[in-house]
Amino acid sequence: MLRIIGLFLSVSLVLLIASCGNRAEQQVGKPPTEKVAKTPAYVTMPESTAIAIIFVDSVDTDIDQTGREFRAKLLRPIVVNGHTLFDENAAVKGVLNKVVESGRLKTPAELIYSLTAIQDIGGSWVNINTYEIRQIKGSHTNREVAMIGGGAIVGGIIGKIVDKKGSTEIGAAAGAAAGTATAAASGKKDIVHSAGTGAVFYLKQSKQIAVK
């Protein structure tokens, strides 16, 4: 009986050793599988790319202070070389670089603002650097001056432009006709952009955007 048991154990041990050897040979003969990390592709959003936005937060030189951040959303998607970098209605952040309240009959209202970030398709915030829009409201007349990237646009800067097809686009500076508020009794002429009005900014430096 003991001989039978010993013989059985010996045969089992031999089979186990042979099985392990076959597995080792199979592993040696088959190259290991390596996981290759996907390298993200990048598309360059060029300098001077137009970024049309709609204000989500209202802006008012009579209320707001320099440094305040405001929320907005894209009026239309940003597409470069067939790649949609940012969707329509993507969330946008901006900052009021300078706010000067109208000083009634002395100091004209002044507003300088720019965009700082856009939320991409994956939900991540992408920092951007745009030219500032600078608006100065005259204190005694309805004359208003806007400057974008050093270029001045005088008068008629607020409003919408209708193209040949009849569709509307936000004009080169900002806002809607109601964007400038005037308190006739006090002589104050502040600058106001209500939620829902728009502006077009221009990228100051090219930016590489990861596409998926």
3-class secondary-structure state, position 153: strand
Q: Is residue 15 part of a domain?
A: no
Q: Residue 27 has what pLDDT?
A: 53
> Model pTM?
0.67
Domain assignment present for 20: no
Q: Are 93 and 73 in contact (CB under 8 A)?
A: no
Q: What was the pLDDT predicted at 187?
A: 55
| Contact assessment for residue 114 and residue 128, using Cβ atoms and an 8 Å cutoff | no
- Residue 169 is predicted with a pLDDT of 37
138: CATH: 2.40.128.260
The SS3 of residue 50 is strand
pLDDT, position 28? 54
Q: Which pLDDT does position 92 carry in this prediction?
A: 98
- The pLDDT, as a whole number, for residue 211 is 85
* 29, part of any domain: no
Structural domain count of the chain = 1
Q: How far is C-alpha 31 from the chain's CA centre?
A: 45
Q: What is the pLDDT of residues 10-36, one digit of tens each?
A: 545 555 555 655 555 455 555 566 666
Q: Which residue segment(s) compose the domain that 47 sits in?
A: 41-211
Whether 31 maps to a domain, the answer reads no
Query: In the prediction, which pLDDT does 164 show?
Result: 33
Q: Is residue 122 part of a domain?
A: yes
- Tell me what pLDDT residue 198 has: 85
Task: Tell me whether residue 60 is in a domain.
Answer: yes
User: 59 in a domain, yes or no?
Assistant: yes
Residue 4 in domain: no
Sequence-separated contacts (24+) of 159-167 with Cβ below 8 Å: none
- Structure confidence at residue 178 (pLDDT): 31
**Which regions of the chain are under pLDDT 70?**
1-38, 104-105, 138-188
Paired residues of 200 in beta bridges = 52
